[in-house]
Amino acid sequence: MVNQTLNRAAPLPRRKRSHSFTTESRPGFLVYGILLAFFLGSTYPLWYSMVIGSSDSGVFASARPPLLPGGHFWSNVAEVFNTVDFWAALGNSLVVSSVITLSVVSFSTLAGYAFAKLRFRGREGLLVFVIATLAVPTQLGIIPLFMMMKEFGWTGSLGAIMIPTLVTAFGVFFMRQYLVDNIPDELIEAARVDGASMIGTFWHVGVPAARPAMAILSLFTFMTAWTDYLWPMLVAPQTPTLQVALSQLQSARYVDYTIVMAGALMATIPLLVLFVVAGKQLVSGIMTGAVKG
């Protein structure tokens, strides 16, 4: 354990790596050109939705679609507000995603900490169970889940949307993998020798050490909850999340694409903001192979 901690902090390999960087030449314009083309392809659909979403419906009558946004964006936005309750949907999405994130991250940290650092009978068996359930597509259980929600009279409530994803096997596994290497056993022993209770040790040793992993897990859990469509659409179309409201906008207005596009753009803005704020963390989260949203 000590060795691993030291290894990570050791500056020597890092220097060696940057050395090999300096000997490597910078790539030519071709590489940047390709990446730029890919970037344009990645962003063009958003630009396109901006162009269409800011035009009036006459835009489709012209032979060639315009390349620049028109001047009708705000009137289209107003039309979106008239068709669906955008703010309520935004609020629903925020509440649902936040509660799910809070629940997944707390329970995962707690269980992951126990699996990583505490000894108890049956630990290995239970951990194998967690890993085995990683591959289980729980989404396919929607029929009994729906029946349950109906039975309890919960359909149409925000709670019903959250319930199936309040915990994930992935979260537990992820926190366990992180904590097993990032808390020295000595630290936990020391806390116990000092007479700390188990929960005190968790709170004062486990949680601070887990913080970086908790942040990454939060980010991806939030994204997953935010983008979910099938279950919220099924169980609570009356209290729509943003995704459901957006799809309702389409079915109400499938002829007038300009308004649908304006709505799609508006619904994308919150995650674009998140991307600007936390894009770096998203990239490193994916690249460490830690979290796959």
Partner 1 sequence: MTNKPPGASTGPAGRKARPSAPTPEKLREDQLTGKQRHRHFFSRLDYKYSPYLYVAPFFILFALVGLFPLVYTFVVSINDWDLLGGAGEWVGLENYTAELSSPLFWNSLFNTFSIFLLSAIPQLAIATFIAAMLDQNLRAKTFWRMSVLVPYVVTPVAVTLIFSNAFDEKYGLINNLLQVFNVDPVAWKTSVFPSHLAIATMVNWRWTGYNALILLAAMQAVPRELHESAALDGAGKLRRFFSITLPSIRPTMIFVIITATIGGMQIFTEPKLFNASSSVPGGPDRQYQTTVLYLWDLAFNRGDFGRASAVAWMLFLIIILIGVINFLLSRKIASSGEKRAGRRPARRGRRAGKTAIPASGQDMAEARRRNHG
Q: List binders of partner 1 among 180-209 (CB under 8 A).
A: 180-182, 185, 188-189, 192-193, 195, 197-199, 202
Applying CB under 8 A, which of residues 71, 120, 125, 238 lies at the interface with partner 1?
Answer: 120
Task: Indicate the residue among 78 and 134 with the shorter CB distance to partner 1.
Answer: 134
Q: Identify residues 11-40 at the interface with partner 1 (CB under 8 A).
A: 13-14, 17, 20-21, 23-27, 31-32, 34-35, 38-39
Buried-state track 222-252, b at ≥16 Cβ within 10 A, e below 16: bbbbbebeebbbbbbeebbbbbbbbbbbeee
Task: Report the distance separating Cα 100 and Cα 79, nearest Å.
Answer: 31
Applying CB under 8 A, which of residues 82, 204, 212, 277 lies at the interface with partner 1?
Answer: 212
Shortest approach of partner 1 to residue 75 CB, angstroms?
18
Distances (CA, A) of 239 to 142, 233, 242: 18, 9, 10
Map residues 63-102 to x or -, x wherever contact with partner 1 holds by CB under 8 A: xxx-------------------------------------
Task: Report the distance separating Cα 123 and Cα 16, nearest Å.
Answer: 40
Task: Indicate the residue among 75 and 196 with the shorter CB distance to partner 1.
Answer: 196
Are the CB atoms for 242 and 89 separated by under 8 Å? yes
Applying CB under 8 A, which of residues 94, 95, 99, 142 lies at the interface with partner 1?
Answer: 142
DSSP secondary-structure letter at 167?
Answer: -
Shortest approach of partner 1 to residue 74 CB, angstroms?
20
Q: Identify residues 122-141 at the interface with partner 1 (CB under 8 A).
A: 123-124, 126, 130-131, 133-141
Task: Indicate the residue among 38 and 74 with the shorter CB distance to partner 1.
Answer: 38
Shortest approach of partner 1 to residue 291 CB, angstroms?
8
Largest Cα–Cα distance of the chain, in whole Å? 79
Applying CB under 8 A, which of residues 76, 161, 164, 210 lies at the interface with partner 1?
Answer: 164
Task: Indicate the residue among 78 and 118 with the shorter CB distance to partner 1.
Answer: 118
Buried-state track 154-189, b at ≥16 Cβ within 10 A, e below 16: bbebbebbbbbbeebbbbbbbbbebbeebbbeebbe
Applying CB under 8 A, which of residues 168, 183, 214, 218 lies at the interface with partner 1?
Answer: 168
54 SS3 class = coil
Q: Identify residues 214-273 at the interface with partner 1 (CB under 8 A).
A: 223-224, 226-227, 229-230, 234, 242-243, 246-247, 250-251, 254, 257, 260-261, 263-265, 267-268, 271-272
198 SS3 class = helix
DSSP secondary-structure letter at 165?
Answer: G
Task: Report the distance separating Cα 156 and Cα 24, nearest Å.
Answer: 59
Shortest approach of partner 1 to residue 181 CB, angstroms?
5
Task: Indicate the residue among 42 and 87 with the shorter CB distance to partner 1.
Answer: 42
What is the distance of C-alpha 211 from the center of its chain? 17
